[in-house]
Structure 1
Amino acid sequence: MSGNSYLPALSKQVSELVLAGSLSHAEQAFSDAVEEHGDLAVVEVLANLAPQVTALHLSGFDGGKTSLATLLVPPKAWADSLAFIAATWSDDMIEDDPERVAESLFSHVHGIVFSTDDQERRADLLFEASASDHGATIFAILFSMAPKEILEVAEEIISKGPYMTGQTSSDSDLVPLAIELAKASEDGWDRSLFELFPDFRHSADLADAEFSDDPDEEPKFMQRSTRELLYRLRKQVPSSRSSVPKRGARKSIGTDIFS
């Protein structure tokens, strides 16, 4: 890009605005940059912002509120920013209302992933987001809100592969996200399942697992709770001195389910 000397200045301006809590002004700066220099200018700034700043900025546009940053954030930059999202939660929030914290996290992830109809971008976002330990924990947190449905999806993926319908016993918003994740990254899908159900080491084992409809009955196998997973994610927030955690060394342990 020619004449990109304005990019460092724009990055500095946006960072300062976000850290000061002026998200609407940061968005305006992006909007002005798009008008003057095109989308690529904003993509480049978002690619180079500190991930803590990106996390703060994007978390202000959850759910129905779209933003240029939501639409243009590069998949890798978003994935790195997710490592810091738990830093905004207090112990009290996790302790008192873990479901509410998980729902706000779902709103954030769903808002980014489904902000576009571009299948390739959606797959890239999910692939990058689930490629790290903190990413796997984030998807496990979301799936912990509907574990029975997630097991049903796992079973259908194993039995039907690309011919799956995604129909489960309840109409959970998590199911479309789970299916998109499984299509985008088998490794990311597996890692998230094993984070939620640590007793399992291969997704085929999950197909035989059964959930009781009685909420008071003890589960037959270990499942991490939403609260426990939220605390796990908190422990994975990098310190400001360290770099963002790299992709875990664990290899994929399945076969290509959608080939």
Structure 2
Amino acid sequence: MSDKNLPAISKQVTELVLAGSLSHAEQAFADAADQFGDYAVAEVLSTIPPQVTALHMAGFDGGKLSLTTLLVPPKAWADSLAFFAATFQDDLIEDDPERLAEQLFAHIHGVVFSTEDQERREALLQEASATDHGCTAFAVLFSLAPKEILELAGEIISKGPYVSGQTTSDNDVIPLALELAKASEDGWDRALFELFPDFRHSADLADAEFSDDPDEEPKFLQRTTRELLYRLRKQVPSTRSAPKAASGRRSIGTGIFS
């Protein structure tokens, strides 16, 4: 694809998405792929504003086939993820946080598991979890199954590279959490810290226990889905500035899969 084609396609797709014509934007990508190859779509997605990519991809959750889902470059997706919470409304966060968390899960799970390409899967998870908003987004998902996440953390600590990801539940968030832990040890640690701020070393995780009584107060600090959604929305960057890179945080362990 020549340099003169890229700006034209980028402009066309951006205008279509902002106008709400997602199917037409997807058709524009399909036409570009037919004429110039899949690489052209990835190239366009790397140049359009991340908030536009977020709007586009939000319309293709729930198993709908999308070239954007299949071809979005990992860095472009990680940047767009920062804008996913921009449309979250106070009443929904207050009254039905799990519904918003499940929408976020459908989006992230759909992108990460869109292909069988393990290298792409790892790159997507590494880029997303290299940002503060990405780690918060993963923590939102983990908050839907905190007991299972705690079990997985304990298994990772005890078994390292031999971890199976088995817990007392077959919750859909566990395979995604395990993929994150394998792709980025730091990203996994930081997402855990978002959900469980008190945990600062592996012994805490290994010794912690969850009560089966939902009315019992937790023995340690755990952020709720609602709290994490508010944190995520506060991390939505201004469209006048580039997405902010992650700040360094302490790690609970090293070399868990080495």
Q: TM-score, normalised by structure 1?
A: 0.97
User: Which residue in the other structure is 1:138 paired with?
Assistant: 137
Any conservation in 2 of the 1:66–1:115 contact (CA below 8 Å)? Answer: no
Q: How does 1:1-259 map to 2 (within 5 A)?
A: 3-250=2-249, 252-259=251-258
Q: Unaligned stretches of 5+ in structure 1?
A: none
| Alpha-carbon distance in structure 1 between the residues aligned to 2:37 and 2:134 | 30
Q: RMSD of the TM alignment (CA)?
A: 1.0
| Alpha-carbon distance in structure 1 between the residues aligned to 2:22 and 2:240 | 25
Moved more, 98-107 or 246-255: 246-255
Q: What is the DSSP-based 3-state SS (H/G/I as helix, E as strand, rest coil) of the residue aligned with 1:158?
A: helix
Any conservation in 2 of the 1:63–1:110 contact (CA below 8 Å)? Answer: no
What amino acid is aligned across from residue 209 of structure 2 in structure 1?
E
Any conservation in 1 of the 2:101–2:225 contact (CA below 8 Å)? Answer: yes
Change (3 A) 1:203 1:116: farther
Moved more, 244-253 or 225-234: 244-253
Residue 238 of structure 1 deviates from its aligned partner by: 0.6
What amino acid is aligned across from residue 180 of structure 2 in structure 1?
L
What amino acid is aligned across from residue 34 of structure 1 in structure 2?
A
Q: What is the DSSP-based 3-state SS (H/G/I as helix, E as strand, rest coil) of the residue aligned with 2:245?
A: coil
Identity %: 76
Query: Aligned pair count?
Result: 258
Q: What is the DSSP-based 3-state SS (H/G/I as helix, E as strand, rest coil) of the residue aligned with 1:218?
A: coil
Residue 253 of structure 1 deviates from its aligned partner by: 4.7
What amino acid is aligned across from residue 114 of structure 1 in structure 2?
F
| Alpha-carbon distance in structure 2 between the residues aligned to 1:200 and 1:237 | 26
Any conservation in 2 of the 1:141–1:226 contact (CA below 8 Å)? Answer: yes
Residue 251 of structure 1 deviates from its aligned partner by: 5.4
Any conservation in 2 of the 1:43–1:73 contact (CA below 8 Å)? Answer: yes
| Alpha-carbon distance in structure 1 between the residues aligned to 2:83 and 2:184 | 22
What amino acid is aligned across from residue 226 of structure 2 in structure 1?
R
Q: Unaligned stretches of 5+ in structure 2?
A: none
Q: What is the DSSP-based 3-state SS (H/G/I as helix, E as strand, rest coil) of the residue aligned with 2:164?
A: coil
What amino acid is aligned across from residue 133 of structure 2 in structure 1?
H
